[in-house]
Structure 1
Amino acid sequence: MSFVWFNEPKKWSSNASAINVHTDRETDFWRKTHNGCERDNGHFYYRSLPGERDFTATVNIRGKYHTRYDQGGLMIRIDEKNWIKCGVEYVDGKQFASVVTTVNGWSDWSVVPINSPDVLKLSVKREKEAIYINYAEGEQGEFRMMRLSYFPEIDKEQNLLVGVMCASPSKETEGFEIIFEGFNIVENDAK
């Protein structure tokens, strides 16, 4: 099954092992919480899976983050009101491992400080309504759990969208370069 863009960036390329993106400015995924902001214009390169299917998605991320809230990682999505994004987010001059879970149109945000590694490895595993998010710092880092999150189950007639995402929310940037390496989705047997 092929991948497609939701909000395709102006500059990107891919080969057998990597997806390279230069983010567009003023792009993000966020819903309501804290400041009422609603944005659904971040970049998301995904494929569709049957709604009842469990899976594990993995990717290694290398980014040249430099402006507040530059971000990139994995995303799972039902629609604009139900999605999870996780990966690196650049806040106050530092990298953080970050998760935003959005359910029924409300976003929450959690971060874990990391040591600004050259690469952050991510693993997202879906089992029914549970999403397990793990991260590892650097090529040799061991995976640690970042979050166990609820995510609504959907039926087999609906699609679950799974892929890589990136965004640059700031007005004061021209975006940044990010590389997604070894992106892989392994589907488990249908329930």
Structure 2
Amino acid sequence: MNFTWFNEPKKWSINGSTILVHTDAKTDFWRKTHYDFERDNGHFYYRSFSGDQSLTATVNVRGKYTTLYDQGGLMLRINEKNWIKCGVEYVDGNQFASVVVTVNGWSDWSVVPINSPDVLKLRVKREKEAVHIEYAEGENGEFKMMRLAYFPLMDKSQPLMVGIMCASPGEDTQGFDITFNDLNIIEDH
């Protein structure tokens, strides 16, 4: 599959279709908006595709979220100024389905309350300049649309990186354990 790490965590392992990560402290992906800082040191395990490729990525995420902004899910990335991350984010003691879209160096953030499921299923589909993001709560949950976002269409010479991401931005964190199961990325033709 030719996956590689961007900001490899100190502790991680793979067993079959399961990837287990313990996030490093003070890691995040964010650009400027509202918080007036930039971080590009979160963990991202990805494959590269042609920049104009349509594709669908799915994964099941389970985490032991304990600290403000603990997070994990899927990521699509062109470079440090153009990326999308989606998944679970821990805010005020609760899990939220979360999406951050960063285009031209500016991040936005949207959340949907969820019932702290044991597993959050994610499905992200990219077609041309649009990314359709869906989530499902629990093993048997039905997928619901969370976001339809603009994402720049690049030429074939610029790779699109797609995979799993996780981070622990909190000031008082020691990181947390997160498990990704059944990561699947399919090129759509």
* TM-score, with structure 1 as normaliser: 0.98
Aligned to 1:89: 89
Aligned to 1:73: 73
Map 1:105-124 onto structure 2 (within 5 A).
Answer: 105-124=105-124
Is 2:163 the partner of 1:163?
yes
In 1, Cα distance between the equivalents of 2:147 and 2:70?
21
In 2, Cα distance between the equivalents of 1:47 and 1:35?
30
In 2, Cα distance between the equivalents of 1:6 and 1:105?
18
For residue 86 of structure 2, give the secondary structure of its aligned residue in structure 1: strand
For residue 90 of structure 2, give the secondary structure of its aligned residue in structure 1: strand
Map 1:1-191 onto structure 2 (within 5 A).
Answer: 1-189=1-189
In 2, Cα distance between the equivalents of 1:51 and 1:15?
30
Question: Residues 19-73 of structure 1, C-alpha deviation per residue, up to 9 Å, x if partnerless?
Answer: 1000000000000000211000000000000111100000000000000000000
Question: Residues 114-172 of structure 1, C-alpha deviation per residue, up to 9 Å, x if partnerless?
Answer: 00000000000000000000000000000000000000000111100000000000120
Q: CA deviation at 1:15?
A: 2.1
Q: CA deviation at 1:179?
A: 0.2
For residue 152 of structure 2, give the secondary structure of its aligned residue in structure 1: coil
In 1, Cα distance between the equivalents of 2:14 and 2:34?
36
Aligned residues: 189
| Worse overlay, 15-24 or 71-80 | 15-24
Q: Percent identity?
A: 74
What code does the residue aligned with 1:64 have? K
In 1, Cα distance between the equivalents of 2:92 and 2:143?
25
What code does the residue aligned with 2:155 have? D
In 2, Cα distance between the equivalents of 1:67 and 1:168?
8
Question: Residues 87-111 of structure 1, C-alpha deviation per residue, up to 9 Å, x if partnerless?
Answer: 0000000000000000000000000
Q: CA deviation at 1:85?
A: 0.1
RMSD over aligned CA atoms reads 0.5
In 2, Cα distance between the equivalents of 1:46 and 1:174?
24
In 2, Cα distance between the equivalents of 1:97 and 1:122?
9
In 1, Cα distance between the equivalents of 2:35 and 2:175?
23
* TM-score, with structure 2 as normaliser: 0.99
Segments ≥4 residues shifted beyond 2 Å: none
Q: CA deviation at 1:13?
A: 0.2
Give ranges in structure 1 of 5+ residues lacking alignment.
none
